[in-house]
């Protein structure tokens, strides 16, 4: 499942961009790319070809057939994704934390959802209102917002602790016991996930809807959009949504109650997100046979990435495996634990820790383990780590040289957001992860050139479309949209470059 509308023109463009990205590498290390002889080139290509064959790589991780962004379902899903009507107090939309122009994330270490000073201001300047009982100004969401790009490629788990996951006969969600099926999960993982952000007070629900349980807030929001039941009269122009839902579901005479349901809303949100396929990278073209798609320098980085540590490589593909660069499993790698945590107890008995996968399985071997992230477009999805503690990709890669050293010498000044947990607390909490039995990394020596080569390889996993506003425009709603929501709840972002 590879091609969508993008043309040969984009391929040419991406080639030029790659060349330019390498010379603009954010690293301070200077390197020369002319030292490779022809002998080296073919040796590297041979070595990489062996890795590609042995690992069965194809350059394309998506096995199902996601919808086009131009499908009617994706288009209506986009309007919902950008609508603040889907939050309790009409101040947050999905796009608040997953904007296409920010790599499908929010460019923040930790997200700021409801109760922002300016709800439409996204990116690094977004702040909470001070003073309410729930806000001291710092971010209230405890985990970094992952990208929605290529979300259709996940086959087993969604969320950093995998609390949405495939089980034998269907999909499990946090509303049912482990290993059981949620009958309301919907048709795929992305559909199942889309029902949850509105249930989180910090993300979308808000703090004035505590009287409603998960299902009640979902149904209330559907009623608001459709102007029926308890939601009647909340929006002045529900005819706008009714006409669209009737059209997309081919039911011209359906009532709002029949067609504007929480299931249909979450389905449409998932179709829009599943259309976000951005995997046409220089590396994928190399895998598919274009040996000139990446430079020798990138090839050297790739060789390090794939080779086992026992054979002198960096051993990254042990976990970042396959065309999607993830095993979809959970590992404790001791990434810095900043922010408020998920309410799990730390050594001092304070409820500001995050046990990761253990929260779901209650298995000690899962404590502090988080799902291996995909590395496609990783260059554009910072800050990095489950709490966004590394604000440069280089710092995230250097974590793998010696995690203990990285935590001991963690540069607190790299955090751009005010109101995060203090440094001593981060060190104590992260030390618990480093000391836990399941800690999964082995220290290694990587010199500056090798780190830089790994970074060059990671940047070769970027689809150039993700860095081009015009290429991304089909996935975005703009204020010159002629069919704009007359209720005024469409989130037109400000603060983005
Ligand atoms: C306030 C910020 C915020 C808002 C608003 C928000 N999200 Fe998220 N989203 C997150 C965070 C944080 C996570 C990771 C949470 C976790 O794993 O525990 C996440 C996870 C996800 C994931 C799973 C990604 C993965 O790799 O597993 C998807 C898909 C997603 N969100 C879609 C949505 C949709 C759809 C909406 C609107 C209904 C939405 N989000 C609203 C912050 C937000
Ligand atoms: C033992 C499994 C494992 C190995 C080996 C491994 N990783 Fe990771 N990687 C992970 C996990 C798990 C995370 C997320 C951890 C967290 O956030 O707590 C991660 C996160 C990352 C991130 C941050 C991504 C993001 O979106 O936040 C980068 C970059 C990364 N790894 C690159 C590498 C590189 C380069 C190597 C080889 C030097 C490597 N990894 C080796 C499991 C692994």
Query: pLDDT by residue (tens digit) across 141-156?
Result: 999 999 999 999 999 9
Higher-scoring residue by pLDDT: 12, 244: 244
What's the whole-number average pLDDT of the chain? 91
Ligand 1 atom 6, closest CA: 94
Q: Which atom of ligand 2 is nearest to the CA of 334?
A: 18
Question: Does residue 479 lie in a domain region?
Answer: no
The mean pLDDT of 114-139, rounded to a whole number, is 87
Which residue in the block uniquely carries the two structure tokens 């016991």? 177
Q: Decide: 97 in ligand 1 pocket, CB within 6 A.
A: yes
Cα separation of 60 and 78, whole Å?
Answer: 25
Q: Return the pLDDT at 8.
A: 38
Residue 351 reports pLDDT greater than 70: yes
What radius of gyration do the chain's Cα atoms show? 23
User: Is 471 inside any structural domain?
Assistant: no
Ligand 1 in reach of 113 Cβ (< 6 A): yes
Q: Is the pLDDT of residue 48 over 80?
A: yes
Is the CB–ligand 1 distance for residue 145 below 6 Å? yes
Local structure of 357: helix, strand or coil: coil
Tell whether 306 and 348 lie within a shared domain: yes
Clarify whether residues 102 and 135 are in a common domain: yes
Task: Note whether residue 452 is domain-resident.
Answer: yes
52 and 81 share a domain?
no
Residue nearest to atom 12 of ligand 1 (CA): 145
Find out whether the beta carbon of 376 lies less than 6 Å from any atom of ligand 1: no
On whether both 239 and 299 belong to a single domain, the answer is no
Judge if the beta carbon of residue 103 lies within 6 A of ligand 1. no
pLDDT, one tens digit per residue, over 356-399 is 999 999 999 999 999 999 999 999 999 999 999 999 999 999 99
Q: What is the pLDDT of residue 420?
A: 87
Tell the residue nearest (CA) to atom 39 of ligand 2: 316
CB 126 within 8 A of CB 133: no
Task: Give the pLDDT band (50/70/90) at residue 134.
Answer: confident
Instruction: Report the pLDDT value the prediction gives residue 23, as an integer from 0 to 100.
Output: 37
Whether 287 and 245 map to the same domain: the answer is no
Probe target for ligand 1 pocket from 165, 171, 198, 203, with the most ligand atoms within 8 Å of CB: 203
Does ligand 1 come within 6 angstroms of the Cβ of 152? no
Residue among 266, 143, 141 at smallest CA distance from 194: 266
Whether residue 99 sits in one domain with residue 33: no
Categorise residue 18: left if φ over 0, alpha if ψ from -120 to 50, beta otherwise: alpha
**Residue 302 Cβ contacting ligand 2 at under 6 Å:** no
Dist. CA 46–CA 115, nearest whole Å: 55
Residue nearest to atom 37 of ligand 1 (CA): 94
Same domain, 308 and 206: no
Query: Could you tell me if 93 and 32 lie in one domain?
Result: no
388 and 144 Cβ atoms separated by less than 8 Å: yes
Sort 181 into a burial class: Cβ within 10 Å, 0-12 / 13-18 / 19+.
Answer: middle
State how many domains the chain has.
2
Q: Inform me whether the pLDDT recorded for 472 exceeds 80.
A: yes
Q: Which residues lie across from 164 on neighbouring strands?
A: 158
Q: Which atom of ligand 2 is the closest one to the Cα of 386?
A: 17
41-45, 90-94, 355-359, 440-444: the lowest-pLDDT one: 41-45
pLDDT the model gives residue 291: 94
Last residue of a domain, one of 219, 253, 276: 276
Burial of 26 (C-beta count, 10 Å sphere; 0-12/13-18/19+)? exposed
Query: Is there a domain that residue 397 lies in?
Result: yes
497 inside domain: no
Number of H helices, E strands in the chain: 16, 5
pLDDT tens-digit readout, 209-239: 999 999 999 999 999 999 999 999 999 999 9
**Residue 202 CA, closest ligand 1 atom number:** 1
Write out the two tokens for 432: 């618990």
Instruction: Verify that 47 and 164 share a domain, yes or no.
Output: no
> Both 226 and 340 in a single domain?
no
Q: What number is the average pLDDT over the span 68-85?
A: 98
Residue 386 near ligand 2, beta carbon < 6 Å: yes
Do 326 and 193 lie in one domain? The reply is no
Read off the pLDDT of each residue in 469-483 and give the average, rounded to a whole number: 95
Q: What is the CATH classification number for the domain harbouring 235?
A: 1.10.760.10
Any atom of ligand 2 within 6 Å of the Cβ of 377: no
Tell me how far the alpha carbon of residue 139 lies from the centroid of ligand 1, in angstroms.
15
Is 476 among the domain residues? Answer: no
Residues 182 and 257 occupy one common structural domain: yes
What is the predicted pLDDT for the residue at 263? 98
Residue 323 falls inside a structural domain: yes
Distance 331 CA to ligand 2 centre (A): 9
Residue 146 falls inside a structural domain: yes
Residue range(s) defining the domain that contains residue 448:
10-62+280-459
């Amino acid at each position: 499942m590879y091609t969508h509308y993008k043309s040969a023109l984009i391929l040419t463009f991406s080639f030029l961009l790659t060349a330019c990205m390498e010379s603009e590498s954010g690293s301070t290390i200077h390197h020369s790319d002319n030292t490779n002889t022809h002998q080296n080139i073919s040796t590297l290509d041979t070595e990489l070809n062996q890795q590609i064959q042995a690992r069965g790589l194809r350059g394309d991780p998506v096995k199902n057939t996601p919808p086009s962004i131009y499908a009617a379902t994706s288009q209506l899903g986009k309007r919902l994704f950008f609508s603040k009507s889907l939050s309790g107090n009409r101040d947050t939309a999905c796009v608040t934390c997953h904007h296409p122009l920010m790599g499908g994330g929010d460019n923040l270490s930790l997200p700021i959802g409801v109760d922002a000073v300016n709800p439409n201001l996204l990116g690094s300047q977004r702040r909470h209102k001070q003073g309410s009982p729930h806000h001291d100004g710092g971010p209230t969401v405890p985990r970094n917002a992952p990208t929605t790009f290529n979300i259709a490629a996940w086959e087993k788990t969604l969320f950093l602790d995998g609390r949405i996951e495939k089980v034998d006969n269907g999909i499990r969600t946090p509303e049912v016991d482990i290993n059981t099926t949620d009958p309301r999960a919907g048709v795929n993982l992305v559909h199942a996930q889309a029902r949850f952000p509105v249930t989180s007070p910090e993300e979308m629900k808000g703090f004035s809807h505590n009287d409603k349980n998960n299902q009640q807030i979902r149904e209330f929001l559907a009623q608001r959009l459709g102007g029926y039941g308890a939601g009647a009269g909340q929006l002045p122009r529900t005819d706008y949504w009714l006409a669209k839902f009737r059209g997309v579901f081919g039911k011209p005479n359906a009532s709002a109650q029949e067609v504007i349901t929480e299931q249909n809303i979450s389905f449409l949100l998932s179709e829009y997100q599943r259309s976000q396929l951005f995997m046409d990278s220089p590396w994928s073209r190399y895998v598919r046979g274009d040996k000139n798609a990446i430079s020798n320098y990138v090839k050297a980085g790739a060789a390090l990435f794939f080779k086992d540590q026992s054979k002198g490589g960096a051993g990254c593909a042990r976990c970042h495996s396959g065309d999607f660069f993830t095993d979809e499993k959970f590992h404790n790698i001791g990434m810095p634990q900043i922010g408020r945590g998920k309410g799990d107890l730390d050594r001092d008995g304070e409820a500001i820790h995050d046990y990761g996968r253990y929260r779901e399985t209650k298995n000690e071997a899962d404590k502090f383990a988080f799902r291996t992230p995909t590395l496609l477009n990783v260059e554009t999805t910072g800050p990095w780590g489950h709490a966004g503690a590394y604000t440069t990709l280089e710092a995230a890669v250097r974590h793998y040289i010696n995690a203990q050293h990285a935590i001991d010498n963690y540069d607190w000044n790299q955090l751009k957001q005010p109101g995060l947990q203090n440094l001593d607390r981060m060190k104590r909490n992260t030390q618990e992860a480093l000391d836990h039995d399941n800690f999964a990394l082995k220290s290694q020596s990587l010199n500056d050139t090798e780190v830089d080569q790994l970074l060059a390889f990671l940047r070769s996993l970027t689809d150039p479309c993700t860095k081009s506003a015009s290429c991304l425009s089909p996935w975005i709603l703009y204020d010159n949209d002629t069919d704009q929501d007359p209720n005024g709840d469409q989130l037109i972002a400000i603060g983005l470059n």
